[in-house]
Amino acid sequence: MGLLKTIFFLVLSYYAFKFLARLFAPFLMRKAAETIKKKAAQQYGGQQREQQQKKSSVKEGETIIDKKPGSQQESKKSVGEYVDFEEID
């Protein structure tokens, strides 16, 4: 009889969890989406403010270069010394 009670409570708790998950899952997903949306807005807003501050400090007609172009010169370093090996019979 104890085994049947245990199985009954396990099945009952499984279906109760399943039912509650269906009730609360949309709410939890909506809450998580709002949190992610707020974080993304804060990050984007911070970048946008920085760009506006840079633009406001530039006078009209002034040219500003944010990055230096990378040098595309070939490397003149020698890779190493060439060694000619001979086969030994």
**pTM greater than 0.85 (yes/no):** no
Q: How far apart are CA 72 and CA 39, in angstroms?
A: 39
Domain ranges of the chain: 1-53
**Confidence category of residue 43, pLDDT binned at 50, 70, 90:** confident
pLDDT tens digit string along 46-83? 666 666 666 667 677 777 777 776 666 666 666 678 78
Q: Is the dihedral of CA 21, 24, 25, 28 positive or negative?
A: negative
- Residue whose token pair is 């172009």: 69
- Return the biggest CA–CA distance within the chain: 90
